[in-house]
Amino acid sequence: MKILFGSIVRDGASYLPRYFEQLRSLTDKHEIGLAICEGDSKDNTVSVLIDLMEKHSFPVYPYQYSHNGPKFGSVDVSERWFNIAKTWNYMLDNCNKFDEYDYFCYMEADLIWNKDIIDKLVEGMEEFDCVAPMSMLGQEWFYDTWGHRSNGMNFSATYPYHPYFNDCLRYMPLDSAGSCILMKSEVAKNCRLSLKDAMIGHDIIENGYSFVLDKTAIVNHP
């Protein structure tokens, strides 16, 4: 399969080498590319990114967008969501590579995952338009309780994570998700992140695309 990964990065010098190695691990089975947008970094992200682009053989499509806003932690602040969405949407608006790939993978660049996770998400593409993995902190804690929503309700940090969570079913319908989403390239061409909460799920659902959680696929936050 041909998969275009997409990420935005700010002060990412410490984790970008791991991310590029994760992507490289996929090249024995998939043809991949990376669209990456850097902005507002105060560390040596740009020089690290240039060095990694020279070392790795898969194509990288770099973009630069700076909103000049403050750097927030994991907090619910409207300015944070607005700036994240503006950066993502800038890259999505300017990327002209979607037609060259089967799928687009929205991916936070600091996540910890292995290549088997991507294969699991690809399996879901036979039935759905968008598939997101479980977003965990360690083995038990669900991390992305802000982004992951189903039936109008957010996920919670502790098991069973959501009132409609059913261990017997692999897939669960989603309203939105953050962290990581594999989608058909058509979806990435047509959908954008909301400036209110930085979620692409609103556009996915409004445009009639199917969107599910794969409970067998897990990514971890560092």
pLDDT at 135: 97
Gyration radius (Cα) of the chain, Å:
16
Q: Is this prediction's pTM over 0.75? A: yes
CATH for 14 = 3.90.550.10
On the 0-12 / 13-18 / 19+ scale of CB atoms within 10 A, 17 is middle
pLDDT at 62: 98
Q: How many CB atoms sit inside 10 A of residue 206's CB?
A: 9
Share of the chain above pLDDT 70, in %: 100
Average pLDDT over residues 193-204: 97
Determine the structural domain holding residue 47 and report its residue range.
Answer: 2-220
For residue range 122-148, what is the model confidence (pLDDT) as tens digits?
A: 999 999 999 999 999 998 999 999 999
CB of 94 closer than 8 Å to CB of 39 = no
Instruction: Determine the angle formed by the axes of helices 16-24 and 45-55, rounding to 10 degrees.
Output: 20
Considering its fold, how many domains does the chain have in total?
1
> What band does 193 get if pLDDT is binned at 50, 70 and 90?
very high
Average pLDDT over residues 80-96: 97
Distance CA 80, CA 154 (A): 19
pLDDT at 111: 98
pLDDT at 171: 98
pLDDT at 74: 87
Share of the chain above pLDDT 90, in %: 96
The mean pLDDT value of the chain amounts to 97
> What band does 26 get if pLDDT is binned at 50, 70 and 90?
very high
